[in-house]
Amino acid sequence: MTDIYEDIRKGEKGAMVSIAAYLVLSAFKLVCGYLFASSALLADGFNNLTDIVASLAVLIGLRISRKPPDSDHTYGHFRAETVAALMASFIMALVGIQVIVEAVRSLFEGSKAVPQLWSAGVALVCAVAMMGVYIYNKRLAKRINNHALMAAAKDNFSDAIVSVGAAIGIAGAQFGLPWIDSVAAIGVGLLISKTAWDIFRDSTYRLTDGFDEDKLLDLRSTIARTPGVEGIKDLKARVHGNHVLVDVVVEVDARMTVMEGHEISDSIEERMSKLHNIMHVQVHVEPKD
């Protein structure tokens, strides 16, 4: 269990990297947006301020998931990670809808002041920086198998795309094509909303104990090949935070001793840990009819 808690601690570092990046980049965008008279850059900066809330939700969820099991949570608090990812999806959806609404509104507005071209450069620099944060968090999330941090990484990617869209709009305004800004913003808003939906769907699937059927077949195959197992009467699995819980009922020779049945259970647990990195397997042994 110590390795699991250490992985969660690494995930917290990723969330803190996101928060620090958002604080620096939002301040940079807001200052430059005022200096260069860029409404697109100002909107991007305020968008980053809302993203701090999403990253804070992920960080709090990871902190809660590190709490050890207690009388009310005998399996631990690992699902707080998934709840944090769910909250992040709500915040991303609100941002995506806001971007689309503002873009559609700007299409029907009159002429706007043309921002200085420097603001496009600022947006691109911020996009590159946020893409670096995205790559860091994505790799870390895959390495430690952390759903909440992966949600934060997808939020980082969305923000990088928002900055690219802002740069495109600013550049288009220089050539007398201010509508490009709105069109790019609509596309960006749709992308953010799609990402939010993907995170929401995956989080609710995990919270309702959904489990991939192909993976379940792999687990069944591993257990069935364990020496001494003559049949599998029932097999269930669910995701709990960043690890899997498995419950299985196996059939063995009715003439076996209790000790022999216990050794088969130990063998199943060892194989599941070695081949699938599953640390919690509840094995129930029944005699073969």
Residues 39, 97, single domain; the answer is: yes
pLDDT at 110 over 60: no
Residues 22, 71, single domain; the answer is: yes
| Entry pTM | 0.76
Question: Domain holding 280: CATH number?
Answer: 3.30.70.1350
Residues 200, 101, single domain; the answer is: yes
Among 173, 190, 207, give the residue marking a domain's end.
207
Tens-digit pLDDT profile for residues 188-237: 778 888 888 988 998 899 888 888 899 999 999 999 999 999 999 999 99
Pick left, alpha or beta for residue 234 (phi over 0 → left; psi -120 to 50 → alpha; otherwise beta).
Answer: beta
Residues 162, 248, single domain; the answer is: no
Tens-digit pLDDT profile for residues 239-262: 887 778 999 999 999 999 999 999
Residues 229, 199, single domain; the answer is: no
177 vs 54, 80, 119, CA distance in Å? 34, 46, 16
DSSP per-residue letters across the chain:
-HHHHHHHHHHHHHHHHHHHHHHHHHHHHHHHHHHTT-HHHHHHHHHHHHHHHHHHHHHHHHHHHTSPP-SS-TT-STTHHHHHHHHHHHHHHHHHHHHHHHHHHHHTS---PPPPTHHHHHHHHHHHHHHHHHHHHHHHHHHHT-HHHHHHHHHHHHHHHHHHHHHHHHHHHHTT-THHHHHHHHHHHHHHHHHHHHHHHHHHHHHTT---HHHHHHHHHHHHTSTT--EEEEEEEEEETTEEEEEEEEEE-TT--HHHHHHHHHHHHHHHHHHH---EEEEEEEE--
Among 187, 207, 227, give the residue marking a domain's end.
207
141 vs 151, 206, 245, CA distance in Å? 9, 17, 20
Residues 154, 271, single domain; the answer is: no
Range of the domain at 237: 213-287
Among 207, 227, 250, give the residue marking a domain's end.
207
Tens-digit pLDDT profile for residues 121-168: 888 999 999 999 999 999 999 888 888 888 889 889 988 988 888 888
Residues 263, 161, single domain; the answer is: no
Distant-in-sequence, close-in-space partners of 281: CB < 8 Å, separation ≥ 6: 246, 247, 248, 268, 269, 272, 273
Residues 228, 251, single domain; the answer is: yes
Residues 127, 223, single domain; the answer is: no
Residues 44, 120, single domain; the answer is: yes
Residues 17, 101, single domain; the answer is: yes
Question: Domain holding 134: CATH number?
Answer: 1.20.1510.10
Tens-digit pLDDT profile for residues 43-78: 778 778 878 888 888 888 888 888 888 888 888 888
Q: How large is the average pLDDT for residues 106-112?
A: 68
Domains: count for the chain: 2
- Which amino acid does the sequence have at 248? V
